[in-house]
Structure formats: structure tokens, C-alpha cells
């Protein structure tokens, strides 16, 4: 193949001159490893480049605008070397597919996909004005529980929506949470980078690895992820717990001199309590954070939303200005329905055939489609039918306009074609009963106490009564009053610990060995003690 050095359009080898600008074509070898920067005015799909925003190892991001409607967007372009890699292309497409399958306002929207003339792949996404959470944490050190929980609730909504769609993020970290600063002073988080997302039910294909290594960031990886085991939504709950710990303390729970050191600690070492890292924090916050960081997935909270509201209840009880909120149970897809594999198993034909489409809904105003909004309208009879017909007509009209516009490459032709469309037919949709309200999780009468101890087996007492051992979770009556536990083990000094059983508690405890007894001594008059 030959390439134009100006416009980067590619031609068969027999061509010598670019048809667009008359430049002499050069062989591909001349551009090997070279990704020429896109100049302002260059068209990428339907968007005109205005300038570069930034670049990294995988490619570059440009600011762009739609010349017809003036919509600003960001264009993410993969490097030529990565565009030629089936694995990287799979990740690139996985992000676009996952985002559009979930469609939630706390997740960045991706609405177009394609390839440049030189083979580089791109997608077009919404342009965000703010900063990533990691930069915000570097500026502030740590966040107050009030500010942290407000941000975490948005992240939790995004993750729960992904899990409900059967998708696991698997790379949750501060760099992938983008903060938008609203006019009222609030912070609106957006979840980014579903590039290694997994569709639940994909089986072995879900363990997406590179050269035999589990993919993700070791500081935020779950124990099962570190071991390369199959993962589900609970791996995101673990990573969310690390994010919570870091936001409140300014430090990740585990660090080390190497990736292997960190991964070993993730799998085997009890995490430190947040209050032991930052003493200003109430100890009441420790239990809900440690519950997210349980090594066994079955011991973690059922959903991210429940986890963050457990933290909010603890913060409220500790006197922070936080109000707990009810959380509906998340209904998750158990299989890979509704779109097929997200992150793996794509054939070259699928990679070649992928294309994008403009979104019809502003992701900031709604995380759902127009028809979803109709389902919530409390009207009946003819009024309900009229509302549905209006929305169906709107969607049908927009879809028709989009289709006709695609037949004409010029904006003027697209508009003229859309203006001559016949009105959409009236569609009568039978009235449907309003969907049932989501069930709110009721508080259980008892809470669970899980003890992560060293030594591994300790006896647990309340006063003189033995409750059980650390070998399995113990059940305690739910209460807002503190109770004192005594932990005992042969050869170790007993330890008293006070907890508030208002929610499930994960208690890390280390007992001290009993000091060895001194050898007997003999006192000799005038000479002090003499050791035998």
C-alpha cells in the first residue's frame, strides 16, 4: 500500500499520486511507527478537529466539533501499532460496546466509531470539562467523608447499572473516575475506560489476560483477579473498597516494592483499618470499608450501592453531615444476553464491520432511552397512549432522519432529505400498568461479625460467655450501642475490642505472643542475682 503524506489516505501500490491533493504517494515503510498529529480542520467521521487535548501510550485525544449542529466532542484515536493488534482492537471496541449497552448518565457516552485512512481506529465520545479523581486527590490529599460519599454514590450508581447489564468494569481506579464541577458547587462523577470490561456469562473468555497476566491495576485488583480466576461483579466491589479507603486516607491499603508484592498482599494480608491510617476518622467507618475488602467474594456486600449506603449510615452515626438513603436491590443478568461478548472472542470480520451511531438522548439528562421515561409517567387510558405515541413518533422521526442523512455525505443534502420525509405513521400502543416500585432492602435483625485474626484461630467472648471462634462469621443482634469483645488464644495475650454492631462488621485483629518466662535465679549474699 501507498500513503499520501498530507492527508494520510491509502492507495494500492500501483497508484503514485494522491487524488485528493496531488501529493506523491510514499510506501507504508516510510510511515512505520509514525502517527502524524491531526491538524485543525481535519474531518474525522462527522466531526472537525479543533486541537489536541492530550496523548498517552495508547494514542491521542482531540477536541472536535460537529460542523452542522455545533456539538463539541472528544475524539480518541488509537496508535497505528495498537490499531493493528487484534487484542488492543478488542479492548477498544469493548469500551464502546460496554458503554452503549449500559447507557447511564454517570458513565461517559461514546457515540461514534470508525477508522482513519491510515488505518488508525477512533471513537467519538462526549467532551468532559473537569479533572480525574487521581489529580483531585493529589491536590487535596484526602477527602472528608461528606465529600467522598457524595462522589462515591455517583460511582456506585454507574457500577450498579453496569452490573445490572451484566458487565464488570475490572479496572476501577481514581484515574478512571472523572469529576465534573457543577455550578451549585456539587461534583458529578463519570466512570471511564471500560476497555477491559467483561460480560457476565462469558466463562473463560471473561478472564482477559495479556501474556498470561491478569489485566487491571495491582493496587486496585481483587484477590481473585490477582490469581487470574474468573470474576464477577464482586471484584468491582473490592476495587471500590480500595477507592473508598484511598479517598478517605490518601493512601491505598496495600503497597510494595514490586507488582508481585502488592498482589500477594491483596490475596493474603488483612487490610488496615482506615482509622489506623488517618486517626481523625471515626472507627465507625472501618467496618463498612473492611466489608468491601473481604478476601472471599461471598463475604462482600451484595452490591456497590448497598456498600456505599452502609458507609453512609456509619458516617451518619459518627456525627458526619451525611444522610443515609434507601437502596433498591440490583437485578443482574446471569448470562451474556443482550449484545454478545463485550471484551473478547471477536472475529476479524466483526472488528472490520463495527460502526457507531449518534445518540438520541443527552446522557447528562437521562441514563435511559425515551421509552424508559414514558414507563414512569403516572397517567392512564387515552392520556398514557397519547404520551407513548408522541415519544414513538419522535424516535421514529429521528431514526428516519438519521438513515436518510447517511445516504448523503453533504450536510446540505442530509437536511434537504430529512425535510422531505413523510410524517411517521401513528402507532397505537396499548396502555401498560406502571412498573412496580423497586423493593427497598430491609435491615436484618442480626448482623454478621467476621474476624480476620493472627493467629488464624481465636476464641471470642462477651464477658464470660463464649460466642464462638474466628473460624466462621458470628451473629450479633443489631444495635447502635457498643459492646466489648474479648479475644483469646493459647500462647497469646488476650485482647479487648469494642465494636458497634449497627451493620455487618469485619474485624482485623492481631494478638501478641505471651513473653517467654525468665530462668530461675539464685541470690548470693553480697553478690546480687546469679543466673543458674
Number of C-alpha atoms within 13 angstroms, CB side, residue 59?
21
Q: How far apart (Å, rounded) are the C-alpha atoms in residues 147 and 188?
A: 11
Which three cell numbers mark 16? 503514485
Q: Are 487 and 509 in contact (CB under 8 A)?
A: yes
Q: How far apart (Å, rounded) are the C-alpha atoms in residues 5 and 17?
A: 11
Q: Are 36 and 8 in contact (CB under 8 A)?
A: yes
Q: How far apart (Å, rounded) are the C-alpha atoms in residues 197 and 89?
A: 13
Q: Are 142 and 249 in contact (CB under 8 A)?
A: yes
Query: DSSP characters for 413-469?
Result: HHHHHHHTPPPPPP------PPPPPPPBPPPPSEEEEEEEEESS--EEEETTEEEEE
Residue with cell 445516504: 407
Alpha-helical regions (H) of 207-250: 223-226, 233-249
Annotation says 171 is catalytic: yes
Q: Known binder of ligand: residue 333?
A: no
Q: Please tell me which residue in 35, 118, 171, 202 is annotated as part of the active site.
A: 171
Alpha-helical regions (H) of 303-438: 304-317, 348-353, 370-375, 381-407, 411-419
Q: How far apart (Å, rounded) are the C-alpha atoms in residues 393 and 399?
A: 10
Question: Which residues are designated catalytic?
Answer: 171
Question: Which residues does the annotation place in the binding site for ATP?
Answer: 76
Question: Which residues does the annotation place in the binding site?
Answer: 76
Amino acid at each position: 500500500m501507498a500513503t499520501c503524506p498530507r492527508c494520510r489516505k491509502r492507495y494500492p501500490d500501483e497508484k503514485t499520486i494522491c487524488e485528493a491533493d496531488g501529493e506523491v504517494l510514499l510506501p507504508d515503510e516510510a510511515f512505520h511507527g509514525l502517527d502524524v498529529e491531526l491538524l485543525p480542520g481535519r474531518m474525522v467521521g462527522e466531526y472537525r478537529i479543533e486541537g489536541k487535548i492530550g496523548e498517552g501510550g495508547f494514542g491521542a485525544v482531540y477536541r472536535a466539533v460537529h460542523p452542522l449542529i455545533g456539538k463539541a466532542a472528544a475524539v480518541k484515536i488509537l496508535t497505528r501499532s495498537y490499531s493493528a493488534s487484534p487484542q488492543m482492537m478488542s479492548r477498544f471496541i469493548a469500551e464502546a460496546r460496554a458503554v452503549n449497552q449500559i447507557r447511564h448518565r454517570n458513565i461517559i457516552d461514546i457515540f461514534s466509531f470508525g477508522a482513519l485512512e491510515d488505518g488508525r481506529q477512533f471513537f467519538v465520545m462526549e467532551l468532559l470539562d473537569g479533572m480525574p479523581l487521581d489529580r483531585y486527590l493529589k491536590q487535596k490529599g484526602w477527602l472528608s467523608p461528606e465529600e467522598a460519599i457524595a462522589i462515591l454514590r455517583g460511582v456506585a450508581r454507574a457500577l450498579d447499572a453496569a452490573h445490572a447489564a451484566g458487565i464488570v468494569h475490572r479496572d476501577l481506579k481514581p484515574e478512571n473516575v472523572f469529576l465534573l464541577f457543577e455550578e451549585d458547587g456539587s461534583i458529578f462523577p463519570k466512570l471511564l475506560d471500560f476497555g477491559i470490561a467483561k460480560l457476565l456469562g462469558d466463562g473463560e473468555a471473561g478472564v482477559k489476560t495479556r501474556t498470561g497476566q491478569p489485566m487491571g491495576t495491582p493496587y486496585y485488583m481483587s484477590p481473585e483477579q490477582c490469581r487470574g480466576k474468573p470474576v464477577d461483579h464482586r471484584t468491582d466491589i473490592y476495587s471500590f473498597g480500595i477507592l473508598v479507603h484511598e479517598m478517605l486516607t490518601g493512601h491505598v491499603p496495600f503497597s510494595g516494592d514490586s507488582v508481585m508484592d502488592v498482589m500477594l498482599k491483596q490475596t493474603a494480608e488483612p487490610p488496615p483499618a482506615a482509622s489506623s491510617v488517618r486517626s481523625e476518622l471515626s472507627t465507625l467507618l472501618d467496618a463498612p470499608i473492611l466489608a468491601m475488602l473481604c478476601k472471599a467474594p461471598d463475604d462482600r456486600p451484595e452490591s456497590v450501592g448497598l456498600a456505599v449506603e452502609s458507609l453512609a449510615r456509619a458516617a451518619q452515626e459518627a456525627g458526619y453531615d451525611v444522610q443515609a438513603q434507601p437502596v433498591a436491590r440490583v437485578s443482574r443478568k446471569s448470562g451474556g444476553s443482550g449484545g454478545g461478548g463485550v471484551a473478547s472472542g471477536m472475529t476479524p470480520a466483526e472488528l472490520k464491520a463495527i460502526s457507531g451511531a449518534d445518540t438520541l438522548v443527552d446522557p447528562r439528562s437521562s441514563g435511559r432511552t425515551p421509552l424508559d421515561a414514558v414507563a414512569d409517567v403516572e397517567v392512564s387510558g387515552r392520556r398514557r397512549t397519547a404520551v407513548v405515541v408522541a415519544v414513538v413518533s419522535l424516535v421514529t422521526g429521528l431514526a428516519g432522519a438519521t438513515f436518510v442523512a447517511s445516504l448523503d455525505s453533504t450536510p446540505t443534502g442530509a437536511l434537504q432529505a430529512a425535510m422531505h420525509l413523510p410524517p411517521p405513521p401513528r402507532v397505537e400502543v396499548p396502555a401498560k400498568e406502571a412498573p412496580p416500585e423497586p423493593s427497598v432492602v430491609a435491615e436484618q435483625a442480626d448482623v454478621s461479625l467476621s474476624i480476620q485474626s493472627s493467629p488464624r484461630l481465636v476464641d471470642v467472648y462477651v464477658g464470660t460467655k463464649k460466642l464462638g471462634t474466628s473460624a466462621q462469621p458470628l451473629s450479633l443482634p443489631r444495635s447502635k450501642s457498643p459492646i466489648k469483645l474479648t479475644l483469646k488464644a493459647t500462647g497469646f495475650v488476650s485482647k479487648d475490642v469494642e465494636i458497634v454492631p449497627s451493620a455487618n462488621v469485619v474485624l482485623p485483629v492481631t494478638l501478641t505472643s505471651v513473653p517467654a518466662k525468665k530462668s530461675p535465679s539464685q541470690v548470693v549474699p553480697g553478690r546480687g542475682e546469679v543466673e543458674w
